[in-house]
Structures are given as structure tokens and as C-alpha cells.
Amino acid sequence: MGIPTWGLVSIIIVVCLIILGICGFCIRRCFRKRRSKDGKKGMKGVDLKSVQLLGSAYKEKVQPDMEELTENAEENDEGESKQSEQKLGKLQYKLEYDFNANALTVTVIQAEELPALDMGGTSDPYVKVYLLPDKKKKFETKVHRKTLNPVFNESFTFKSLPYAEAMNKTLVFAIFDFDRFSKHDQIGEVKVPLCQIDLAQTIEEWRELQSVEGEGGQDNKLGDICFSLRYVPTAGKLTVVILEAKNLKKMDVGGLSDPYVKIALMQNGKRLKKKKTSVKKCTLNPYYNESFSFEVPFEQMQKVNLVVTVVDYDRIGTSEPIGKVVLGYNASGTELRHWSDMLASPRRPIAQWHTLKDPEDDKKD
């Protein structure tokens, strides 16, 4: 029996469908494999070399090299140190040497841009002038109140100073801030080695103030003393109250001293009257609060000096002077200021701290 036509058509259609299904399955499987391959290839595509190159380029953009960081850090440190350096101001002076008289005349002209050390935003500057290394002769300018740009115009002469000897000296200008009730703060200093300048001609120049070498500066090795002065013109009475001393030089083997204070009223090199305090045993910071009176007519006040000397008492040997302060008509610096303030404020006690000077210093030229 023959197969009817519709049957043959159905068989052909079924066979075609089967073939199409098989082809579609194969095509789909191949597509999946390709996707899987591409996926794996994509995962392998981020190689380390590329990452390192990219990282290096990125690092150069956002993170400087260590050498650059070090250089920048050093520059920043230098900048900060420069900003942190406090300007101490500058000083103008003049030097004139007389070869015939073997004398050096020093003129302190002015200072500018000094730092403010007082609470009011000012200072009370004055200048000490002396020669190193001996410091036998010292001069002081007057104190200028409440100014950072004082004009001094004061001259001082170092006599009996041969040229050969001057070449071994260093001239020092030490600027201090005056304080009546405490230790005077040193603002700065200028050191001029005389061997480095030509003394055959007049020297006038500005120098920057330098910070002080060593704690407390060059001038406080003997100690300080505080006393008050009071003068009553109508009665012709000068009253001196020795209050206290501090940081005195150690004179005894045990590292202490037995200090007392001598007060002498002098005129033309002659001692008119003298007084002294009690001895304070084994101390470098004695407290006295002892009062002494001298009868001095007003017209004589312009002719006398008051010499206050701190002495280390020795029961067996000779008592040795530690340091002294000289006030009066021919004094200078803080001593003259104290004396002048006393005369300007009659009947009122004026107290002030003073730095002790070498007892061997001769205030006369």
C-alpha cells in the first residue's frame, strides 16, 4: 500500500523540525562557549604589569617622590625657623680712637625696632658699654622710658688704652630693659672685636642685635640688691632701707656666703659717714629690711655719692667685698635714674633693684 501524500508531508515536516532543533541546539551551545571564553578572557585582562604602570603614573601625579618630600620638609623647617627667629632690633654707634692720647671714645647714638618686654607694649631701654675680656671699666647710658626706638647720643671714653692692647679687646654694647622692682632683662647685644676694624678712621655703623650667650647674660655673676631711697629736703635727711639681695656670688668653701651690707656717704673721694647691716649667715639670698639715715643738706646732695657694698663676713680673715653699687651726682644708667627719681619725689621712698658691680671698678676716669 502506498503512503498517502499528507503522510509524506507530515514526515518531511517532522524531520525538518528535528533538524532545525538540532541545529539550534548546536548554535546555542557554541554561543555559550564563546561567552564563557570571553568572560574568562576578561578576567585575565587585568595583568599586573598594566596595574603597576598605571599605579606608577598615578603615584607620580598624587604622591611626590621621597626626595621631593624631604626637600620640601627642609624648606618648610627653614621657613618656620626664620619666622620663629625674633628680631631683637639694631643699634647705631660711633667709634673714634685717639692715637696720641691712647683713648677710645664710644658714642651710643640710637637703637631701633627693639622688642616690647613690658606689659604696655613698650620697653625702658638703656645700654651698657664695656670691653672684654676684663670688663674693668663699664659705662651706662640713661634709661629711656616707654620707647622701642630710643635716641641716646651719649659718649664714653676708655682712657689709657694703647693701640696694641686695644687689638686684643672686644667692645660690647649690651641693651637692657629697665625694671625697678625686678631683675633687668637683657634685650640683646652687639660685640665688636676691635682687631676687625680700622681704628685709624672714625667708624659709624648700624649692627643687628644678637641674642645673649649663656643664661642671664654676661652681667649677673655677682648678684643683685634691692634698697629704697628717701630724701626730705626741709630736714636734710637721706634714708636708705636695705631690703634684700639675691643670687650673690659664692664666697665660702661650702658654696655659700655670710653677707652684710655697708653704706658709705662719699664726697670728693672722702668718706663722710658709714653704716652697715647685720650679718646673715650661710645664704646667697639674704633679707635685711634695715633702715639707715644720713644728714645731708640739700645743697650738698649735688656733691655726694652713696656707695652700697655687699661684703662676705669672715670672722678669722679679712671680710671680702662681693660687689657694689654707686649712686649720686656722677653716677650713670640705672643708678643715676634711682638717684634722680628720689630727688624728684621728696619724702617718698623709691625702691629699686640694682645689679652688683665689681668692687674694684673705679667710677672715675
Cβ atoms of 117 and 187 within 8 Å: the answer is: yes
Give Cα 76 distance to the centre of its chain: 23
- The larger pLDDT score, comparing residue 294 to residue 82, is at 294
DSSP 274-343: EEE-----S-SS-EEEEEEEEE--GGGTTTEEEEEEEEE--SSS--EEEEEEEEETT--HHHHHHHHHHH
Provide the pLDDT for residue 244. Answer: 95
Q: What is the SS3 assignment for 115?
A: coil
Residues 38-94 pLDDT 10s: 544 444 444 444 434 444 444 444 444 544 444 554 555 555 444 445 688 999 999
Q: Of the CATH numbers 3.60.9.10, 3.40.50.2300, 3.40.30.10, 2.60.40.150, which one belongs to the domain with range 90-208?
A: 2.60.40.150
Cβ atoms of 194 and 167 within 8 Å: the answer is: yes
| Assigned CATH for 224-355 | 2.60.40.150
pLDDT, average across residues 306-322: 89
Where do the domains of the chain lie? Answer: 90-208, 224-355
Q: Which of 30-44, 81-95, 169-183 has the highest mean pLDDT?
A: 169-183
pLDDT, average across residues 290-303: 94
Same fold for the domain at 90-208 and the one at 224-355?
A: yes
Percent of the chain with pLDDT over 90: 53
pLDDT, average across residues 5-10: 71
Q: What is the SS3 assignment for 218?
A: coil
Residues 245-277 pLDDT 10s: 999 998 877 778 899 999 999 998 899 999 999
Mean of the per-residue pLDDT values of the chain: 81
CB-count burial class (<10 Å; 0-12, 13-18, 19+) for 359:
middle
The type of residue at 17 is: L
pLDDT, average across residues 145-174: 94
pLDDT, average across residues 235-244: 96
Residues 130-154 pLDDT 10s: 998 887 788 999 999 999 999 999 9
Q: Which of 30-44, 67-81, 194-208 has the highest mean pLDDT?
A: 194-208
Provide the pLDDT for residue 361. Answer: 63
